[in-house]
């Protein structure tokens, strides 16, 4: 065994290990739907048809368990496992869908439930009444049993960024700008998000990007967000992450598009007493509170303007080139720029604009693709439905241009790869601008100012490249 | 792990970006030279240069960009020793396994270290990664590399076949990532290494479906739950800028113009032939007859070139071909010159006209890397409770025959499940 490293099990207390009072918890219901519930002291959580239970029951529980609701209390249920079921001779040959699908009608079941009969009894009754149960294949019997078994149960879902993203994507994907989990994961990697890093983020995706980055930072690093409201931005998704509030405010600060301007002058009244002296204790308190706000604003602004950030991450409804132009000034050399959009056109335009500037290296647009499979013995196949698109990403690297080294004209090459070794100096006069292809190749040249080679060919094996 | 200083220092690993398809790692060693088809660079000259700088070569043969290494850049720059995991897979695995600052993770095998670098970056100094490689040469190379990259505090690498010998830690890690030819042989060992006090996660990376099926069955036998499988890809988009697409009325205009010119040319040829006079009159007639058969093709070609030129050049008047001018001078009363230049105006977009950006997927993209099989392992106490409940359940099932425990749900019990047809009942 490895006695040395990592013998202690305490990991960062950034996110709670167990469910606490005040947490917002995701519950997965038997239907597959996920419900968001706030765990408040001594209250009742109602899950509709599944039942209701006392919220205190969840406190201190680890995530991921499945519970059956028994008289407002919770009992841990065995986890869903794949059932190894051998197929029998039974087929669905003699089974037709008909009126006698369910031996007990819904009304009868409700009546039984009201009369206090336990669910198990009802099910037993139902199956007894089912003459053709033996005609079913083992698999569909299993499906039937499991289906019934878990009808009054639910599972808690750990608020990992994966689960939270999936929950919001299924709930309302437009509110998170179609940012599917695979795209979000790529965004975090392309943005080189690491503990201790300093990032500028523009998040109009309900705070999903902010939540993901805060989660990865684990309380160490800096996150400066720029928003379009004049109060503190509402990032509703942060509630689902259950971060500790004081820890978040130590890592994250926000500016808006006005306060992020270098020539912005606050119209807010001064925090100094007009007479030079505080007239009352109340005034003193009020003004010192105001001073705190103004100081913090001024600190955040100077932090932005002093620059050298490690990355710029954008998922915004605003015109992306204006954002990139404005904020890339505050990035350090070799910093990552990642822009997400649900629309390829937006990023195509952005890429075209960025290629004409020599401070962005290798802008590249990618689309992510994700397919989930049902895995069951003998019945493994992709799910019938898949999400259409998880959005597009543009990634580029901020670089410092050196006009003397980079004399754009000196390193132009023709579009044809055979004509010259890429990178060779080629006087502009030699460029065959009169050829029939002049139009498109001169276009290429100006776009490729920052690169040694026209990027008409991409290495699809290495998407980063 | 890697320099976070603003400028490059001796001993740093720098990623040299020559072109999009040519990215190389470079350890800065003053005294050495970096030679490439884009020129010669002295390492000593690169010391003190800010990361992200464009640097011109000493012999004027080109320039390079000096980038700060990231796991993603390292992945595309590294000398491939095994099939490496690409960005889309690594990123997805990281989020599913909930790898973040402070996580404790196991990886087997190390391979070329692509996942190792990415994970070391993500977990940071408060986390730890145990990496296992059974191939000795690869193990030595990887260990050396992790040392060079300052990762030795975050990553412990062990030379071992984990399928046979298991892992070096027990009840310790939050997640396990298996990239092995036979991951099912390591599943039980992984279970031992995972923490027992909370929900933990595993991912198995296999290119073939047969491997997935064996893995799924091993995971199920070992008590893992929520077994699921994904495939993910990243599709690069090919972006180009083109003038706005032409309308069919422009095409129609061009075709009419072609026809008009052809007709004018034919008339002119007849006129020329006539003017050559008596002696060659018979030959001229033959020319005329032949001309009607062969000329159109040739003129069309010429027109094609001409209209192409007209589109690309800004000055419409320069788009006029010699034949246009000749026609114009010989038949001034027809006003063909002015009308054709007016048409050219329509055809060539004014220089101020904005281009449109188009995006499409490249014709050939990576279609498959591997299947990502995921599963969860519940805390030990929940598993114990579960197995008790399960055994109780089995007894009950055996006693009562079809006596199944349950809850109730109105919809779904019908349709595809148990149903009885009228006919069967009656008969």
CATH number of the domain at B74-230, please? 3.40.50.150
Each residue of B355-379: b (16+ CB within 10 Å) or e? eebbbeeeeebbeebbbbbbbbbbb
**Beta strand ranges found along A39-167 (DSSP E):** 44-46, 52-54, 66-70, 73-76, 153-157
Q: Do A220 and B417 touch (CB under 8 A)?
A: no
| B367 part of contact set with chain A, CB < 8 Å | no
Q: Which domains does chain A have, with CATH numbers?
A: 24-79 (no CATH), 161-395 (3.40.50.150), 408-450 (no CATH)
Ligand-binding site membership of B283 (annotated): no
Contact B129, B116 (CB under 8 A): yes
Nearest 5°: the CA angle A61, A66, A68 is 105
CATH number of the domain at B13-69, please? 3.10.330.20
| B389 part of contact set with chain A, CB < 8 Å | yes
Which of A144, A352, A371 comes nearest B239 by C-beta?
A: A352
Residue A126: name the closest of B390, B397, B402 by CA: B402
Q: Which of A256-270, B293-307, B336-350, B413-427 has the highest mean pLDDT?
A: A256-270
State the residue for tokens 């379009």.
A228
Spell out which residues of chain B touch residue A189, defining contact as CB-CB under 8 Å: 71-72, 87, 90-91, 94, 118
Which of B96, B130, B241 comes nearest A352 by C-beta?
A: B241
Is B385's pLDDT higher than 90? Answer: no
More confident position, A295 or A434: A295
Burial class (CB in 10 A: 0-12, 13-18, 19+), B25: middle
More confident position, B294 or A400: A400
Residue B375: name the closest of B185, B218, B233, B232 by CA: B218
Specify the DSSP element, H or E, that contains B63: strand B63-67
ipTM of the complex: 0.79
Q: Find residue B237's DSSP bridge partners.
A: A365, B361
Nearest 5°: the CA angle B206, B212, B215 is 105
Spell out which residues of chain A touch residue B174, defining contact as CB-CB under 8 Å: 11
More confident position, B24 or B291: B24
pLDDT for residue A193: 97
pLDDT for residue A70: 85
Please write down the HEC assignment for all residues of B207-259: CCHHHHHHHHHHHHHCCCEEEEEEEEEEEEEEEEEECCCCCHHHHHHHHHHHH
Q: Which of A192-196, A427-431, B308-312 has the highest mean pLDDT?
A: A192-196
Tell me the pLDDT of chain A averaged across its residues: 79
Structure tokens at B146: 């992790």
pLDDT for residue A277: 81
pLDDT, tens digit (0-9, with 9 covering 90-100), for B236-245: 999 999 999 9
Q: 3-class DSSP state for residue B79?
A: coil
pLDDT for residue B386: 59
Q: What does the alpha-carbon distance between residue A392 and residue A415 come to, in Å, rounded to a whole number?
A: 28
pLDDT for residue A1: 43
pLDDT for residue A119: 66
- Count of Cβ atoms closer than 10 Å to residue B111 Cβ: 22
pLDDT for residue B368: 87
Q: Do A133 and B232 touch (CB under 8 A)?
A: no
Looking at chain A from residue 343 to 382, which residues have their Cβ under 8 Å from any Cβ of chain B?
344-345, 347-349, 351-352, 358, 361-362, 364-373, 375, 377, 380
pLDDT, tens digit (0-9, with 9 covering 90-100), for A395-409: 999 999 887 764 333
Q: What does the alpha-carbon distance between residue A311 and residue A224 come to, in Å, rounded to a whole number?
A: 11
pLDDT, tens digit (0-9, with 9 covering 90-100), for A217-264: 998 999 999 999 988 898 999 999 999 888 898 999 999 999 999 999
pLDDT, tens digit (0-9, with 9 covering 90-100), for B118-175: 999 999 999 999 999 999 999 999 999 999 999 999 999 999 999 999 999 999 999 9
Percent of chain B with pLDDT over 70: 70
From the DSSP assignment, how many helices (H) and strands (E) are in chain A? 13, 15
Boundaries of every domain in chain B = 13-69, 74-230, 241-357
| B346 part of contact set with chain A, CB < 8 Å | no
Is A102's pLDDT higher than 60? Answer: no
Q: Do A188 and B95 touch (CB under 8 A)?
A: yes
Q: 3-class DSSP state for residue B91?
A: helix
Instruction: Give the model's confidence band at A162: pLDDT under 50 very low, under 70 low, under 90 confident, else very high.
Output: very high
Is B4's pLDDT higher than 70? Answer: yes
């Amino acid at each position: 065994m490895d006695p040395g490293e990592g013998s202690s099990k305490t990991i960062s207390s950034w996110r709670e290990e167990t469910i606490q009072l005040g947490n917002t918890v995701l519950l997965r219901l038997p239907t597959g739907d996920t419900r968001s519930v706030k765990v408040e002291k001594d209250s009742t959580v109602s899950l509709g048809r599944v039942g209701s239970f006392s919220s205190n029951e969840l406190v201190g529980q680890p995530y991921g368990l499945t519970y059956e609701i028994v008289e407002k209390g919770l009992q841990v249920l065995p986890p869903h496992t794949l059932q190894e079921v051998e197929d029998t001779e039974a087929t669905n040959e003699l089974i037709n869908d008909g009126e006698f699908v369910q031996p007990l009608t819904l009304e009868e079941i409700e009546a039984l439930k009201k009369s206090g009969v336990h669910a198990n009894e009802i099910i037993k009754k139902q199956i007894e009444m089912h003459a053709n149960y033996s005609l079913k294949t083992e698999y569909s019997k299993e499906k039937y049993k499991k289906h019934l078994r878990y009808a009054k149960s639910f599972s808690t879902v750990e608020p990992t960024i994966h689960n939270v993203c999936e929950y919001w994507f299924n709930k309302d994907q437009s509110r998170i700008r179609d940012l599917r989990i695979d795209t979000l994961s790529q965004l975090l990697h392309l943005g080189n998000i690491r503990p201790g890093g300093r990032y500028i983020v523009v998040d109009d995706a309900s705070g999903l990007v902010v939540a993901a980055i805060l989660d990865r930072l684990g309380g160490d690093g800096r996150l400066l967000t720029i928003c379009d409201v004049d109060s503190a931005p509402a990032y509703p998704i942060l509630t689902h992450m259950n971060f500790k509030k004081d820890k978040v405010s130590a890592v994250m600060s926000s500016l808006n598009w006005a306060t992020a301007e270098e020539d912005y002058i606050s119209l807010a009244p001064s925090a100094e007493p007009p007479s030079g002296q505080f007239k009352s204790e109340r005034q003193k308190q009020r003004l010192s509170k105001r001073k705190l706000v103004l100081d913090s604003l001024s600190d955040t602004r100077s932090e932005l303007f002093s620059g050298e950030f490690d990355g710029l991450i954008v998922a915004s409804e605003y015109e992306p080139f204006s954002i990139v132009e404005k904020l890339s000034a505050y990035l350090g050399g070799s910093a990552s720029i990642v822009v997400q959009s649900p629309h390829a056109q937006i990023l195509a335009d952005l890429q075209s604009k960025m290629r004409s500037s020599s401070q962005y290296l290798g802008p590249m647009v990618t689309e992510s693709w994700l397919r989930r499979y049902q895995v069951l013995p003998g019945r493994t196949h992709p799910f019938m439905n898949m999400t259409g698109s998880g959005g597009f990403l543009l990634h580029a690297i901020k670089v410092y241009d050196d006009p003397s080294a980079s004399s754009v004209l000196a390193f132009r090459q023709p579009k044809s790869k055979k004509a010259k070794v890429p990178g060779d100096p080629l006087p502009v006069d030699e460029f065959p601008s009169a050829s029939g292809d002049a139009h498109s190749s001169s276009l290429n040249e100006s776009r490729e100012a920052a690169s040694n080679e026209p990027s008409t060919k991409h290495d699809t094996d290495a998407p980063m490249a | 792990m890697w320099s976070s200083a603003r400028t490059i220092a001796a001993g740093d690993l720098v990623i040299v970006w020559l072109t999009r398809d040519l990215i190389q790692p470079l350890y800065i060693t003053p005294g050495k030279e970096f030679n490439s088809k884009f020129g010669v660079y002295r390492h000593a000259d690169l010391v003190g240069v800010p990361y992200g700088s464009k640097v011109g070569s000493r012999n004027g043969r080109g320039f390079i960009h000096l980038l700060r290494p990231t796991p993603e850049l390292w992945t595309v720059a590294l000398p491939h020793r095994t099939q490496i995991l690409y960005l889309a897979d690594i990123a997805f695995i990281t989020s599913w396994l909930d790898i973040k600052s402070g996580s404790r993770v196991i990886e087997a095998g190390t391979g070329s270290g692509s996942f190792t670098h990415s994970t070391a970056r993500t977990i940071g100094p408060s986390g730890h990664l145990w990496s296992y490689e059974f191939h000795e040469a690869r193990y030595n190379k990887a260990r050396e590399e992790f040392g060079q990259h300052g990762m030795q505090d975050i990553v412990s690498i062990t030379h071992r076949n984990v399928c046979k010998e298991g892992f070096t830690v027990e009840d310790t890690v939050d997640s396990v990532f298996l990239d092995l030819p036979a991951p099912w042989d390591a599943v039980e060992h992984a279970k031992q290494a995972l923490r027992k006090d909370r929900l933990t996660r595993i991912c198995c990376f296999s290119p073939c479906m047969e491997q997935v099926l064996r893995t799924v069955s091993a995971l199920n036998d070992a008590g893992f739950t929520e077994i699921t499988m994904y495939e993910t890809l990243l599709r690069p988009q090919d972006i180009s800028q083109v003038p706005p697409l032409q309308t069919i009325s422009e095409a129609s205009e061009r075709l009419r113009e072609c026809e008009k010119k052809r007709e004018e040319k034919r008339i002119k040829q007849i006129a020329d032939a006539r003017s050559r006079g008596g002696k060659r009159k018979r030959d001229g007639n033959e020319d005329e007859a032949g001309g009607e058969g062969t000329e159109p093709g040739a003129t069309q070609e010429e027109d094609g070139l001409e209209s192409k030129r007209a589109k690309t050049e800004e000055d419409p008047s320069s788009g006029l071909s010699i034949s246009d001018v000749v026609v114009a001078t010989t038949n001034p009363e027809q006003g063909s010159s002015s009308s054709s230049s007016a048409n050219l105006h329509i055809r060539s977009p004014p220089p101020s006209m904005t281009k449109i950006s188009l995006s499409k997927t490249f014709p050939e993209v990576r279609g498959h890397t591997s299947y990502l099989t995921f599963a969860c392992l519940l805390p030990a106490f929940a598993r114990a409770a579960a197995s008790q409940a399960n055994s109780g359940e089995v007894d009950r099932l055996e006693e009562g025959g079809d006596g199944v425990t349950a809850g109730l749900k109105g919809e779904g019990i019908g349709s595809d499940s148990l149903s009885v047809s009228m006919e069967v009942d009656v008969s």
